[in-house]
Structure 1
Amino acid sequence: MPPRGGYCLLLLVALCVFVSGHSKFPTLDHIKPRASDKAQSRAVVELLRRLLGNRSTEFMVSVNRSLSNDSLDVCELRSTKNNKVVATGSSGVAVASGIYNYLKYFCNCHVSWSGDQLDVPSPLPKLTGVLRINTPHRFRYYQNVCTFSYSSVWWDWPRWEREIDWMALNGINLPLAFTGQEALWQEVYRALGLNESEIEEFFSGPAFLAWNRMANMFKFGGPLPQSWHVNQLLLQVKILERMRSFGMVPVLPAFSGNIPKGILRLYPEANVTRLGPWAHFNCSFSCAYILDPRDKLFLHIGSLYLSQVVKQFGTDHIYNTDTFNEMTPPSSDPTYLSAISRSVFASMTAVDPQAIWLMQGWLFFSESAFWKPPQIQALLHGVPLGRMIVLDLFAETEPIFSFTESFYGQPFIWCMLHNFGGNSGFFGTVESINSGPFKALQFPNSTMVGIGMTPEGIEQNPVMYELMSELAWRKEPVNLAKWASLYAARRYGRMQDNLTAAWRLLFSSVYNCTVPHYVNHNHSPLVRRPSFHMNTGLWYDPKDLCKAWKLIMDAAPSLMSKETFRYDLVDVTRQVLQVLTTSFYQDIADAFHNQKLPELLIAGGVLVYDLLPELDRLLSSDRNFLLGTWLERARSLALDEKEAQLYDMNARNQLTLWGPTGEILDYASKEWGGLMEDYYTQRWGLFVQTLVECLDSGRPFKQDTFNQAVFQVEKGFIYNGRKYPTKPKGDTYEIAYRIFLKYYPQALKRL
Structure 2
Amino acid sequence: MLPSYLHCFKLFFSLVILATSLDLALGHNISQRSSTFPEPKWGREVIAEMTHNNSGQRISKFHFSHVRPSSTVYEQNIAAQNLVRRVMGENTARHFNLTVDNTLTKSEKDAFHLLKKGGNIVHIVGNSVTAAVSGFHYYLKHYLNGHISWDYDQLELPDTYPDVDIYIKFPERFRLFQNVCTQSYSYVWWNWARWEREIDRWALNGFNLVYAGTGVEAVWTKVYRELGLSQREIADYFSGPAFLAWNRMGNVRGWGGPLSVAWHSGQSLLQRRILSRMRELSITPILPAFSGIVPNAFQRLYPNAQLSKLSRWCNFEDKYCCPLLLDPSDELFSKVGTKFLQEVIAQFGTNHMYSADTFNENIPQHGDVEYLANVSRSIYQAMSDVDSNAIWVLQGWMFVNQVLYWTQDKVKAFLTAVPQGKLLVLDLAAEQIPSHDRLHSFYGQPYIWCMLHNFGGTLGMHGSLPKVNADVHQVRNTPDTMVGLGMVPEGIDPLHLCVITGRSSSKEHSRHYGRT
State the TM-score bracket (shorter-chain normalisation).
Answer: 0.7 to 0.9
Q: Does 1:304 align with 2:360?
A: no
Change (3 A) 1:42 1:10: farther
What SS does the corresponding residue of 2:79 show, helix, strand or coil?
helix
Contact 1:16 1:132 in 2 (8 A): no
Contact 1:12 1:131 in 2 (8 A): no
Counterpart of 1:462 (choices 495, 501, 507) is: 495
Change (3 A) 1:349 1:174: same
Change (3 A) 1:359 1:14: same
What SS does the corresponding residue of 1:224 show, helix, strand or coil?
coil
* 1:248-285 Cα shifts (integer Å, max 9, x gaps): 21111001111111111111111110123210211111
Change (3 A) 1:193 1:203: same
Change (3 A) 1:113 1:15: farther
- Give me the whole-angstrom Cα distance separating, in 1, the residues matched to 2:511 and 2:470: 29
Give the equivalent residue in structure 1 for 2:298. 263
Residue 15 (structure 1) shift: 8.4
Contact 2:98 2:133 in 1 (8 A): no
Give the equivalent residue in structure 1 for 2:391. 356
- Give me the whole-angstrom Cα distance separating, in 2, the residues matched to 1:119 and 1:12: 27
- Give me the whole-angstrom Cα distance separating, in 1, the residues matched to 2:75 and 2:43: 28
Counterpart of 2:486 (choices 452, 456, 460) is: 452
Change (3 A) 1:31 1:23: farther
- Give me the whole-angstrom Cα distance separating, in 2, the residues matched to 1:15 and 1:227: 52
Percent identity of paired positions between Structure 1 and Structure 2: 43
| Aligned residue runs from structure 1 range 670-709, under 5 A | none
Give the equivalent residue in structure 1 for 2:4. none
Q: Does 1:327 align with 2:378?
A: no
- Give me the whole-angstrom Cα distance separating, in 2, the residues matched to 1:342 and 1:132: 42
Counterpart of 2:148 (choices 111, 133, 138) is: 111
Change (3 A) 1:64 1:494: closer
Q: Does 1:200 align with 2:235?
A: yes
Give the equivalent residue in structure 2 for 1:46. 82
- Give me the whole-angstrom Cα distance separating, in 2, the residues matched to 1:469 and 1:340: 37
Q: Does 1:186 align with 2:246?
A: no
Higher strand share: 2
- Give me the whole-angstrom Cα distance separating, in 1, the residues matched to 2:267 and 2:290: 19
Residue 171 (structure 1) shift: 0.3
What SS does the corresponding residue of 1:407 show, helix, strand or coil?
helix
Change (3 A) 1:18 1:373: closer
Contact 1:15 1:133 in 2 (8 A): no
* 1:645-702 Cα shifts (integer Å, max 9, x gaps): xxxxxxxxxxxxxxxxxxxxxxxxxxxxxxxxxxxxxxxxxxxxxxxxxxxxxxxxxx
Contact 2:176 2:209 in 1 (8 A): yes
Higher relative CO (Cα under 8 Å, sequence separation at least 6) belongs to 2
Q: Match for 1:217: what amino acid?
A: V
Change (3 A) 1:245 1:418: same
Q: Does 1:418 align with 2:453?
A: yes
Counterpart of 1:67 (choices 104, 110, 115) is: 104
Residue 81 (structure 1) shift: 3.1
- Give me the whole-angstrom Cα distance separating, in 2, the residues matched to 1:231 and 1:255: 23
Contact 2:43 2:477 in 1 (8 A): no
- Give me the whole-angstrom Cα distance separating, in 2, the residues matched to 1:490 and 1:248: 32
What SS does the corresponding residue of 1:401 show, helix, strand or coil?
coil
Contact 2:415 2:443 in 1 (8 A): yes
* 1:704-738 Cα shifts (integer Å, max 9, x gaps): xxxxxxxxxxxxxxxxxxxxxxxxxxxxxxxxxxx
Q: Match for 2:440: what amino acid?
A: E
Give the equivalent residue in structure 2 for 1:318. 353
Give the equivalent residue in structure 2 for 1:177. 212
- Gap regions ≥5 residues in structure 1: 1-7, 471-482, 496-751
- Give me the whole-angstrom Cα distance separating, in 2, the residues matched to 1:308 and 1:317: 14
Change (3 A) 1:229 1:10: farther
Change (3 A) 1:489 1:302: farther
Higher helix share: 1
Q: Match for 1:58: what amino acid?
A: H
Q: Match for 1:276: what amino acid?
A: S
Contact 2:185 2:491 in 1 (8 A): yes
Q: Match for 1:70: what amino acid?
A: S
Q: Does 1:214 align with 2:249?
A: yes
- Give me the whole-angstrom Cα distance separating, in 2, the residues matched to 1:116 and 1:161: 15
Change (3 A) 1:23 1:202: farther
Contact 2:182 2:491 in 1 (8 A): yes
Give the equivalent residue in structure 2 for 1:93. 130
424-433 or 413-422, larger mean C-alpha shift = 424-433
Contact 2:459 2:491 in 1 (8 A): no
* 1:626-659 Cα shifts (integer Å, max 9, x gaps): xxxxxxxxxxxxxxxxxxxxxxxxxxxxxxxxxx
- Gap regions ≥5 residues in structure 2: 1-32, 51-60
Change (3 A) 1:27 1:19: closer
Contact 1:275 1:287 in 2 (8 A): yes
| Aligned residue runs from structure 1 range 364-379, under 5 A | 364-379=399-414
Give the equivalent residue in structure 1 for 2:56. none
Contact 2:44 2:476 in 1 (8 A): no
CA-based RMSD: 2.2
- Give me the whole-angstrom Cα distance separating, in 2, the residues matched to 1:99 and 1:15: 22
- Give me the whole-angstrom Cα distance separating, in 2, the residues matched to 1:355 and 1:35: 19
Contact 1:110 1:490 in 2 (8 A): no
Q: Match for 2:454: what amino acid?
A: N
Give the equivalent residue in structure 2 for 1:388. 423
Q: Does 1:84 align with 2:118?
A: no
What SS does the corresponding residue of 2:484 show, helix, strand or coil?
strand
Residue 28 (structure 1) shift: 2.8
Contact 1:16 1:134 in 2 (8 A): no
Larger Rg: 1
Give the equivalent residue in structure 2 for 1:137. 172
What SS does the corresponding residue of 1:252 show, helix, strand or coil?
strand
Q: Does 1:124 align with 2:158?
A: no
Residue 18 (structure 1) shift: 7.1
TM-score (norm 2): 0.87
Contact 1:141 1:451 in 2 (8 A): yes
| Aligned residue runs from structure 1 range 626-665, under 5 A | none
Give the equivalent residue in structure 2 for 1:427. 462
Residue 33 (structure 1) shift: 2.6
- Give me the whole-angstrom Cα distance separating, in 2, the residues matched to 1:18 and 1:380: 28
Change (3 A) 1:388 1:104: same
Contact 2:353 2:391 in 1 (8 A): yes
Residue 293 (structure 1) shift: 2.1
Counterpart of 2:268 (choices 222, 233, 236) is: 233
Residue 12 (structure 1) shift: 7.8
- Give me the whole-angstrom Cα distance separating, in 1, the residues matched to 2:262 and 2:450: 35
Contact 1:274 1:289 in 2 (8 A): yes
Give the equivalent residue in structure 2 for 1:58. 95
Contact 1:184 1:308 in 2 (8 A): yes
Residue 442 (structure 1) shift: 2.2
Contact 2:151 2:494 in 1 (8 A): no
Aligned residues: 468
